[in-house]
Amino acid sequence: MSFSQRSRRSLIGVLIAGLLSAALASVGSSAVGATARDAQCLAAKPAVAANPTRILTIGDSLTSAASGDYTWRYFLWKHLVTKAGTVAAPKSTSFAMVGPYSDLVDPVSLQRDSDTYRCNFDKANGAWPGVFLSSYLTAISNGPELIGPMVTGSNADVLIVFAGINDIARNNKSAAQVITESHNLVTAARAANPQIKIVFVTAPSAPDPSAATGKVAIVNTFDTALVQQAPGWSSGASKVAVASTAKNWGLPNYTYDGTHPNPVGEDLIAADVADALHRIGVGPAAKRPLPNLASYVGPRDPATLAQPTVTGGTASLSWTLPLGSVQSVVERVDYTAGGGWTALGSPITLTNTSAPKPYRSTYNDASYTPGHVYQYRIISGKGTLATSGHWQYPVSLASNLVTVPLGATLPKPARVTGVSATPTVHGMALRWATTPKASGYLVAWHATGSSITYERAAATAAYTVTGLLAGRSYGFTVLAVQGSQIGLPSGSLTRTPKGNRMVAPAKPRLKALTKHRIRTSFKLVKGATQYLVQIKLAGGKWRNAGVVAKGPVTGGSLLKGKTYYVRVRPYDSYLAGPYSPAAKIKTK
């Protein structure tokens, strides 16, 4: 596009277009549900091109995972097929995940009888829950295939090994013994494919206390030795690298039970593995900083609560558990007596492993007061071991609300007060006073001067709006919700999101082309979303030549044999950074 063409589009016009694009991208249901929580899933799985790089992953339950998990294998696959995490998936990919297994462990029955992943992807692998590293070297009953036949049968080009924790925690092996078995595994895999590339993943540095009490030091010794020794096992084209994920492992930030990763931990493992693969020539390095996936922890979907039956002073509840959950908290609010949401008793763990799917749980509320109007909801937990501090109960994914007595009209909630708004980078952190009897809140916002309003549900008295344009002012309002009743809006707050801090670009590089044209190239500035290119004749005034997302840019409609100056200014949405130094050139 020429400079003359670009100049017909004003900077404000481009910025407004960006605003509409961002706003439309945020439109959705005000209820938080499975669709919103599965935003990490690719819309379509790309076809595998001819002669792909074939990647075999082996290990224990940290790799095979459980029903409802993304798995770190998914995030690694997504990274590889989308070239370091770009949004749009290609139609084809040159990577294939291989192996004889794809099944998951059902967290209730503990059987390998599930294929219900959180996202669809290339699921094949060689992992086996509870496996010892030695199980890949010596055949055992009810164990995985040996590594040699598995490499041969899958034609693997790359092997990723995430094992060793069970050898130490449950098989009482020393760190030195597990290092020896790791080296033996390299030898066995290389015998099947002399050119196979191998990545080892360090074991979690804080393993599940119930399985590995007193063995953390042994795990740390193993990890240190693996990092130091494994790269030295490289031979010719068969390179060996280590993904040192254990250095970042922390509880309960990255796990849902003390050992097994939640989405934050899965993405961390995948990124560290991707970096290790990149060091041996497979795929791009991970795109950092990693996204914040904290809102994706816990079950994928909410529980489904049936209408309770009431007999005297007892309300009997039953609900269907969401995928991946085995534990629930029953909460209620008494609109007659007043007060907020209250948990009833201890969390309820499903133990009937022979029950048919989908799994159901029940609870009898014997403190029900006849004649009072109540609402109930279920908060489901994600976890496979009841390790204190690691169960994850996303209140934002509460079940449907059920009112007792049936058909009772709930009072309208009071107006929300105490709303504050703190600007963040491309967002706004909202907080407000808890409204008595409110079962939830509705956050609404609009860009100043726009008639389009967007809404999101909030389960607690805080919500952060994201995806806003820096430097563009917005109005924010909060409303309390009680069942189907919505209260009056709070007073509107007008605030402006922050933007990324930008530095001046380096002096652009100019090249004179035929027909009096100029090609302008420049280095991108971190945090910039677009660039304003300005040009002037020697002694003249600067004029806008166009707005671009990146260079190089070719401009025409210039005068022959004249000296021109060009400079570039970065923008983060509406916020302008400093100009680059001006470059000059004489047209042909």
Q: How confident is the model at residue 555 (pLDDT cuts 50, 70, 90)?
A: confident
Query: What does the pLDDT average to over 426-432?
Result: 95
pLDDT class for 505, splitting at 50, 70, 90? very high
Please give the model's pTM, rounded to 2 decimal places.
Answer: 0.74
| pLDDT exceeds cutoff 70 at 88 | no
Asked if residue 90 has pLDDT above 50, the reply is yes
> What average pLDDT does this structure show over 447-453?
90
User: Can you tell me the mean pLDDT for 163-174?
Assistant: 90
Q: What percent of the chain has pLDDT over 90?
A: 59
pLDDT at res. 251? 58
Q: How far is the C-alpha of 373 from the C-alpha of 370, rounded, in Å?
A: 8
Compute the mean pLDDT over every residue in the chain, rounded to the nearest whole number: 86
The mean per-residue pLDDT over the stretch 218-228 comes to 93
Q: How sure is the predictor about 436, in pLDDT bands with cuts at 50, 70 and 90?
A: confident
Bridge partners (DSSP) of residue 160 are 57, 199
- What's at 171, amino acid-wise? N
The answer to whether residue 567 scores a pLDDT higher than 50 is yes
* Residue 107, pLDDT score: 85
Least confident of 232-246, 375-389, 420-434, 486-500: 375-389
Q: pLDDT digits over 276-334, tens only? A: 999 999 999 998 888 888 888 999 899 999 999 999 889 999 999 998 898 999 999 88
3-state secondary structure 354-392: CCCCCCEEEEEECCCCCCCCEEEEEEEEECCCCCCCCCE
* CB contact set of 177 (below 8 Å; sequence gap of 6+): 167
Spatial distance between the Cα atoms of 439 and 413, rounded to a whole number of angstroms: 9
